[in-house]
Amino acid sequence: HYERAVREFAAHKPFTPHLRAALAIAPKFPAALALSGLASALSGRAAGMQAARALAVEAQDAVTMAGGGTAFERVLSSALDSASAGRLKRAAHHLEEHLVAHPEDLLAIKLAHALRFMTGQSGHMEKTSAGVLPSWSPAMPGYGFVLGCRAFALEEGGRLREAEVVGRLAF
């Protein structure tokens, strides 16, 4: 269910039913709690930020209960902690630091991209998408989503011809 939620999130499709199902099975799953909280923070609504703050506490508790969790769970939890406090740029930075060592992490790419978009930082979107793209190939699941991030970043930066070329490759 969690993997399906990530895939649906990447595709800009409804993912919360899958996330709820994952949390029903594993209510203390740090990555699922953090994704839920980050999605709430990305909503841009006061109620979403309130939910994000509560989920940040739950996610951190879940990481602690998991003996410190995985490196990715800690990154997601840190990003959520920052985002839930209104520090969206800092949240994106946590994810981008993770991408230096793990450029194939689709969820981190999409979350960092969304956070940078919300903060009006097209230059960061462009830099991150350019940095991760060499680690991807058309044979990898999610490649089209990464190309989509790249095309959108190029478009936001005013590089429309390049954006169109990359965007057409995403299909």
Per-residue pLDDT of the chain (171 residues; tens, 9 = 90+): 999 999 999 999 999 999 999 999 999 999 999 999 999 999 989 999 999 999 999 999 999 999 999 999 999 999 999 999 999 999 999 999 999 999 999 999 999 999 999 999 999 999 999 999 999 999 999 999 999 999 999 999 999 999 999 999 987
pTM of the model: 0.94
**Helices (H), strands (E): how many in the chain?**
10, 0
What pLDDT does residue 140 have? 96
SS3 98: helix
Q: Chain-centre distance of CA 108, in angstroms?
A: 4
What pLDDT does residue 171 have? 75
Token couple for 135: 């680690």
Judge contact between 121 and 127, C-beta under 8 A: no
